[in-house]
Chains A and B, each alone.
Chain A
Amino acid sequence: MRYYVQRVALAILLLLAVSMLTFGALNVLGDPLFNILGPVAGDVNNPDSVKMIELAKREFSLDRPLPVRYAIWLSDFVRGDFGVTFSSTGQPPVSGVISERLPRTVTLVAMAQFFAILVSIPWALITASRAGKISDRISTLNAFFLVAMPNFALAVILKFVFSIKLGWMPLTFVADDPLSSRLFQMILPALTIGLPVAAVYQRLLRTDIITTLQQDFILLARTKGLSRTRILLVHALRPSLFSFITVVGLNTGALIGGSIVSETVFRIPGIGSTLVESVLRNDFPVVLAIVMIVASAFVIINLLVDFAYTLIDPRVRR
């Protein structure tokens, strides 16, 4: 019990540190005022401009010292008020933007993870049972290639082959389409992120399965007259999954990073592509909110993976 509490406390501390870092970076390295008002921010001689500057300063609390601004922001943030986006009209509120786009990213990442697991488990089982043979070596080579191809390059290639040349997959994501079409539209983007990750999973799982297959209890299973398939699926797989599960959890962060690229290439309006747009526009509240959400998700998932591990292995269960 103590262990769990400790880990949660650490996670919270971590998130605070992350938020401070991000907030600090944005406010110190960037110039918020410029981004709200544009060139007007520097125009201190024109009384109208000065009035606008004062207005903006008050609205965004820019006249207070940094730590105070941070405290204000933090108290708003945890209550779900992410502020307003930096645009001259102050619309739309950041939380609105996020709540609209977050589900898409979550879906995308979930689909990617789903594909990755779906592909890697059979792949690992087959190559483990044929370890050393030609098919295994070819597969290793393929996996290697897959990992060497950067996300964005893979996205471009997949888009070219499946959307443009073969026409199997739609080209764009249309927000107003019914759910089923939208899910279909996400298949290619999800594969872009999921396939390289599947290669990583497969490599790990394959090694673990091979190790498990050397164990005595597998030999006993053979003496029971069980078929190779049954031995692989029923006896060898489960004990080999422990590292796999940990890696799957920990890799979710990488998937989130991958979604940034995938959303940009396939033009899906999720928080990944929004992050990029906002960054290019210097829209700080949005950037800050997204970074915090992503970091929180990352930290929470790692925490859950930690906890889950103690639940999965019956030998560790008390």
Chain B
Amino acid sequence: MSSAVLAAPVAGRAPAPRRFANAGWYALILPAFLLMTAIYVAPILQVLAISVTEPTVGLENYERLLTNAGVQRAIMTTLRIGLITTAIALCLGYVLAYVVALASPNAQRWWLLAVLVPLWISVLVRAFAWVTLLRRQGLVNQGLMSAGIIDAPLALVWNELGIIIGMVHYMVPYAVLPMLASMREIDPRLLAAARGLGATRFTVFRRVFFPLSAPGLAASGVRVFIFSLGFYITPAILGGGRTLMAAEWIKMQILDIVRWGMGAMLATVLVVAILTTLAVFSRVVNLKRLFGAGA
């Protein structure tokens, strides 16, 4: 197949040598393009199709968005957990990125390693590790009890709190990286100049450092929020089946009660929500550039 594709431009007209060259380069990405189409785009389109054809043709499944309490609860839970996770991951990530950005080059390497190591550990392992730490007889509860701080174990897991703890832990590295990139772009002389002009350290942060790092903060926020919407394993394990987020609700519809149409409908809503968030975000970024924050 690829040889036919490569041969096609060669057979083309001679007076367009530029096109020749480009066609050759495009041919190189063709395998990847076909792979993506076959195993990614096509199934998504199929999901979209199922959502309007099962069990009958029409927008019946989407109507349930307005009437079905179960799907509404799953969506609200997902949004709530997503927003809380994003907020906490951004706060922790910002502080971490700030410390890393201002550290010496040598210390930066170690910090970065510490930030990245969790990314290399399977999400499954991390979720179970949190269960071990947070369950009633877990390290945290036992530690607090033996220290006499609490009398009865706290419900730290198999609820929304557990999900948020696990998701924040997963998302912090993703929050740190874009913010660190934008903080590293800030010329340290600007901070020195601001102090030389009479600003206290706090004012330097508020009036110079923070506004200049804001594009990275926005990028991290969108990234973490979008990731949060699609979380599956972490809420499934740390939520203990009591708190349903969108992904788990979809799995339940399709695998447990075999209502393909409803599952596909929410999956489509999720994809549209993510694309909408991205579209809105890209406008915000353009505005930022327009205002010269990134210049």
Our verdict on whether A and B bind, yes or no, reads no
Question: B interface vs A, CB < 8 Å?
Answer: none
Question: A interface vs B, CB < 8 Å?
Answer: none
